[in-house]
Structure 1
Amino acid sequence: MAFISLWRKYKFVCLHVVAWVVYMAIGTLNKVSAGKQSIHLLDILLTQLPGIYVFYGNSFLFFKLLSPRKFVWLLIGEVLFFLSYLLFFYFIGDVLSPLLAPSVAIPPLVLKSFVISGFWIFMIYSFFGFGYYFARRSFLNEKEIGRIQLDKLAAEQGKLEAEYAFLRAQINPHFLHNTLNFFYAKSLGYSKELSEGILTLCEIMRYSLSSGEDESGTVLLGKEVEHLHHVIKINQLRFSNRLQVDFEITGDVWAVRIIPLVLITLVENAFKHGELTRKEHPLVFRLEVTEDNNSLCFSIQNKKKNGPKELSHGIGMSNIRQRLSATYKDRYRLNIKDEEEYYAVSLVINYEKNEMEHPPAPDPGVGKSNAGEPTGRISYNQNIN
């Protein structure tokens, strides 16, 4: 097991060691077959060191500089490397060999002509190094192509899954929306409160499915306000009109556009975590559009619930920050004040001149909704009819 573990960890190094051992063994056998009776181990190692030096040195240069744009640097590198190789070859043959193995040192004739013999060795092992570079590069290219193909297949699979999920997300809500409309028609003769609740839920789903963004991905703020009214109303119906909600709107909400479903996320967070049934601590919404300085300010304040808290991962708030940053860059401020008993959020968006608009007054049924006028002050602390 230990051997297998070492092999997996150092497989690349082990393959090189095995290759050189086999290469030296073949060379040794050739010497023996040529009639050389005594083969010294140091003779084998020392005579192969210059070749190994050339092989790995040239391989390094090829991997780093072998390209048309670096050809001059490769040529300079090869010249410098050849000079360093001659010094190394001289050191092995004339200095190290006589010290370590005097009886097997390189003959004087070879040392005197070490430039010629060194050049020959340099060319042979440079050729081996180029072959190694070519094989290694081909292997890496094949591996990279395989990885790209796997990534492409994974991307295509992810795209198919996303399209399938999107299709399911489209089918199920539309089916539920149509079913709710059917329930609304059937409930008209039985309970006005029930039919209003179903109709309001239909409006919420309709807006969530298609909020009517333009090319920039924004909607009229007035549409968002209508949606807020619907959500407040449906929550009042859920809690038998016991919620204390104070919603004040000032300014022309039809004069600006905003990315959809940002304000509603803040509102739903307040309904989820707030204590909203006490008159002295109502849920307070404030929405102000100021055309003088082209700004929108939306704030929420609520008292926290006592007892166990609902599980929250903060995904909604993180998503809001990302969307606001992507759309408004540094032209927004989102401040959160999280105290022991109270929670407050304020969002300020500064618009540019060309982002303010003055559309004509909306037609009845378009600019208004069952929740009433989208502007003004409404206190949701009594029955809503």
Structure 2
Amino acid sequence: MQHERHTSLDPIRWRTIRLHVLCWAIYVAYEMYMLVLMKVDLEPAYIYILFYSLNISYFYLLSAALTFAFDKGRNQRAKGVLMAAGLILAYILVKFIMNYFVDAPAVAFNVYARGFRKNMPLIFFRAFHFTMLAIFVWASGHIARYRRMADQAEQQRLQLRADKAEVENALMAVQNAYLRQQINPHLLFNALNFTYSRVVDTSPEAARCLILLTGLLRFSLDSTGEDGLVNINDELKEISHLLEINRFRFGDNMHLEMETEGDFENYRIIPLILLTLTENVFKHGNLTNSSSPALIRISITREGELNFFSSNAIKSIPTGRLSKSTGLRNARIRLENTYSAAGFNLCTQTDQDIFTVRLSIRLSGSLVRH
């Protein structure tokens, strides 16, 4: 990944280098052209190469000092300013020494130094010229960078505003869905009550099924306490109602045995787990086979370990659909979210045409005394 990032920056780096080289070439060509127009006797080429190398190096060093002074925080600003001042003085000194070796190498240095006033105006002018050029280019680059940063900040602000609007719309949709969930059960219960009043005199069995179904719906909607749990006995009661509804459905052709063992009164559990596993038997099991009746066994030990076991013949559907049942998958997710620390085990098994479900949960931490 680092190699890819490096190669992706190379074109930008080389483009910048080529741009700087081109700008300096135009600048040097312009000054040489002005010397020709003023009919000034030109020096040998190496003289211009030497002095322009000094000027260009001073330009980039001063730019680096300015960057150090103003981009590294206030603690480094004084150091950066002193660095820039030192570079200016060093540039003037080196320029003076180079002029000496170019203009009068045969003259004693102290004699040349006494004529320093003659060289000072030009030296200070070039120092001021390249100092202002470095400051101008550095400031222009930083203004452009700050403008890009401002544009990016504005884009981020607009994106945050769009994200906020999207979140608000999502929250509104959730609120509307919540309100619909409050309204829909109310309408459903009204419809069930109306249907019950219509059939209670003509079909007591259908009326009884409606009562049981209404109880199951109310249990699924508002059975939990403040801790999000229900008493196991309450869930067992709704399981018995589910069995009663299906007895009306199958009549004498339903072959299912249910066994309970232990004292469930003092224990609580997340709702609908046992009910979901029981409903899975009716959904996928063949309950009309008298030679292989379904079995549901629910027990709890004195140590607070809840055990659920179900066994049923399989309907003529692909066995893979049993292990991928939505009810079983959702039950496993809810168990993992609640009992992963306390410990639970949910496993399914298919043996020829028999499908079994085993669940064990340690409820000792969920013991509630009434």
For normalisation by structure 2, the TM-score amounts to 0.66
CA distance, structure 2, for counterparts of residue 336 and residue 269 of structure 1 = 14
Of residues 197, 210, 220 in structure 2, which corresponds to 1:208?
220
- Aligned partner of 2:231 in structure 1 is 220
SS in 2 for 1:277: coil
Give secondary structure in 2 for the equivalent of 1:339.
Answer: strand
Instruction: Give per-residue Cα distances to partners, 1:8-58, cap 9 Å, x unaligned.
Output: xx99x77995998599569937963872679xxxx9xx9989978998999
Q: Which residue type is aligned with residue 167 of structure 1? A: L
Distance 1:131-1:234 versus aligned 2 partners, 3 A rule: same
CA distance in 1, matches of 2:63, 2:355: 70
CA distance in 1, matches of 2:29, 2:57: 17
1:323 aligns with 2:334: yes
Residues 173-322 of structure 1: matches in 2 within 5 Å?
Answer: 173-211=185-223, 213-290=224-301, 292-307=302-317, 314-322=325-333
**CA distance in 2: counterparts of 1:128 and 1:288, whole angstroms:** 80
Q: Distance in 2 between matches of 1:201 and 1:155?
A: 37
Aligned to 1:139: 151
**For residues 51 and 228 of structure 1, do their structure 2 counterparts lie closer, same or farther at Cα, with a shift above 3 Å needed?**
farther
Q: Which residue does the alignment assign to 1:32?
A: 30
Structure 1: which 5+ residue stretches go unaligned? Answer: 1-9, 87-107, 360-385
Larger displacement relative to structure 2 (316-325 or 228-237) = 316-325
Do the aligned partners of 2:335 and 2:344 also contact (CA within 8 Å) in 1? no
Unaligned residue ranges in structure 2 (runs of 5+): 1-7, 38-48, 88-97, 103-122
Q: How many residues in Structure 1 have an aligned counterpart in Structure 2?
A: 311
Is the Cα contact below 8 Å between 2:303 and 2:364 reproduced in 1? no
> In structure 1, what residue type is equivalent to 2:161?
Q
CA RMSD of aligned residues (A): 4.7
Distance 2:148 2:184 in 1: 53
Whichever residue aligns with residue 335 of structure 1, its letter is L
* Sequence identity (%): 26
User: How far apart are 1:334 and its partner, in Å?
Assistant: 2.6
Q: CA shift at 1:159, angstroms?
A: 0.9
Question: Which secondary structure does the structure 2 equivalent of 1:35 belong to?
Answer: helix
Question: Match of 1:256, as an amino acid?
Answer: Y
* Structure 2 CA distance for aligned equivalents of residues 199 and 31 of structure 1: 100
Which has the larger helix fraction? 2
Q: Secondary structure at the match of 2:334?
A: helix
Compute the displacement of 1:316 (Å): 3.3
Deviations 1:191-234 (A, max 9, x none): 222111121111111212211x2221111111111121222222
- 1:305 deviates by 1.5
Verify the 8 A CA contact 1:59 1:133 in the aligned structure 2: no
Whole-Å Cα distance in 2 between the matches of residues 293 and 147 of structure 1?
A: 56
Which amino acid is 2:347 matched to? I
SS at match of 1:239: helix
1-structure distance, mates of 2:242, 2:150? 62
Structure having the higher Rg: 2
Partner of 1:339: 350
Contact 2:69–2:78 (8 Å) recurs in 1: no
State the alpha-carbon separation in 2 of the partners of residues 204 and 185 from structure 1: 18
Amino acid at match of 1:331: A
Q: Matches of 2:137 and 2:257 in 1, distance apart? A: 86
Counterpart of 1:168 in structure 2 is 180
SS at match of 1:227: helix
